[in-house]
Amino acid sequence: MQMNPRLSGLRCIRCASLWPPGDYPEGCPSCLAAGHPATLECGYDACDADSAIPLPVLAPITLGEGATPHLEATDLALAEGVGQLWLKCESANPTGSHKDRMAAQLVSRARLAGATRVAAASSGNAGVSLAAYCAAAGLQADIAITRNCPPLQREAMQRFGAKLSAFEDSLARWPYVSDLCRNHGAFAGTNYLNPPVGTHPYGVEGYKPIAQEILDACGTPTDIIVPTARGDLLWGIFLGWQHLLQHGRIARLPRLHAVEPYARLSRARAAGDARGLWEGVTDQYSIAGGTCTLQSLEAMSRSGGTPVEISDAAAAQAQQRLERKGISTELSSAAALAAVSRLRRSGVLDAESSVVLIVTSDGRRG
């Protein structure tokens, strides 16, 4: 396990300032000082066009994440009136969600940086994944959860040895994690800023190979639909496709659409500012919360995608449709299927569209 020697630095997605390789859990220092939290994007020295998508940590700690299945759903494509439809089953990762890809890179970096503990705010899949990978790395996981954290999620974190601290709501967790990271030497496993910036850029890089896996199995789809909270997955997938485009592996980017349970990103985009607070009530806990990030807006803007608001009722109906195909999903994962209908009705998708749904997690702990 070592840092990639080709990692040359990080670039701010807002002000384009360059920073040397290092840990920036709060994003761009200049933009943070100006009151505009902004993600940093990793840069690498030139590589061969046909080489693998670069990641920050080489030979990271692994539990077998990645290389997840692609299920072609011709019946769903026909029912929705699109040309092709695939399910990218991130639920097949070791702890049952896409978060394992991020945890592998992030926890590996934490150990390389000499940290002994990782602190995170999560009441769901991120907490479980970080707890598992910290156990594999011999690090302590300190997870701030909400008091209404689903019992099965809580139990899974505890089985992996995580230390849990409960708070009344999502935003109340962030000062606790901030204190651990800023004052007690913990490595940041999630965002803790408000307004948020997203997770450590080295962790988010772990999502880039999803683009290559989709390309190898499905070609270049016209559209990818991603359940989204703070946008780490959305942005990471975009970075993968951007790399493929820059190295001549694809001729165009697929459009990345962000699924959310109530309007956040559409309102942030209309306001031209991701720093607002747009609260709502939902059972789609993995994509809940009233905040969004600049990286989410950038992923959609640069790829030509759009936010899609999906109600709990529509997500539940989609969840039942998937169950009838033998596929168990978390409610927020099923919302991606419900988004196909909305995008088709609005004319964004048509009979020629090739669509990939990111099934972020399974229903084992829902």
Distance set, CA 149 to CA 34, 42, 175, 319, 363 (Å): 34, 33, 18, 21, 15
Task: Compare 168 and 326 and report the one with higher pLDDT.
Answer: 326
Q: What are phi and psi of 305, to 5 degrees?
A: -85, -175
Whole-angstrom distance between the N-terminal and C-terminal Cα of the chain? 34
Average pLDDT over residues 63-75: 97
Which tokens is 235 given? 């942005």
- The neighbour count for residue 133, using CB atoms within 10 Å, is 32
> Regarding beta strands 223-227 and 255-260, do their DSSP bridges make them parallel or antiparallel, or are they unpaired?
parallel
Say what percent of the chain tops pLDDT 90.
Answer: 93
Q: Which domains does the chain have, with CATH numbers?
A: 2-58 (no CATH), 70-97+203-359 (3.40.50.1100), 99-199 (3.40.50.1100)
| Cα–Cα nearest to 4, from 112, 133, 138 | 112
Say what percent of the chain tops pLDDT 70.
Answer: 99
Residues 106/189, Cβ–Cβ less than 8 Å: yes
**pLDDT tens digits, 312-364:** 999 999 999 999 999 999 999 999 999 999 999 999 999 999 999 999 998 77
**pLDDT tens digits, 13-52:** 999 999 999 999 999 999 999 999 999 999 999 877 667 8
- Alpha-carbon distance 108 to 133, whole Å? 9
| Cα–Cα nearest to 282, from 234, 334, 324, 323 | 334
The one-letter amino acid code at 181 reads C
pLDDT value of residue 258: 98
**pLDDT tens digits, 122-136:** 988 999 999 999 999
**Residue at token pair 């000499």:** 114
- Alpha-carbon distance 366 to 286, whole Å? 10
**pLDDT tens digits, 292-307:** 999 999 999 999 999 9
Neighbour-count burial of 343, counting CB atoms closer than 10 A to its CB (0-12 exposed, 13-18 middle, 19+ buried)? buried
Per residue, the 3-state secondary structure of 67-106, as one string, reads CCCEEECHHHHHHHCCCEEEEEEHHHCCCCECHHHHHHHH
pLDDT value of residue 119: 98
The one-letter amino acid code at 116 reads T
| Cα–Cα nearest to 255, from 203, 333, 217, 307 | 307
Residues 88/357, Cβ–Cβ less than 8 Å: yes
Total length of the chain: 366
pLDDT value of residue 15: 97
Angle value at C-alpha 261, between 257 and 264, nearest 5 degrees: 70
pTM exceeding 0.95: yes
Residues 296/39, Cβ–Cβ less than 8 Å: no
Q: 3-class DSSP state for residue 42?
A: strand
- Does residue 242 have a pLDDT over 70? yes
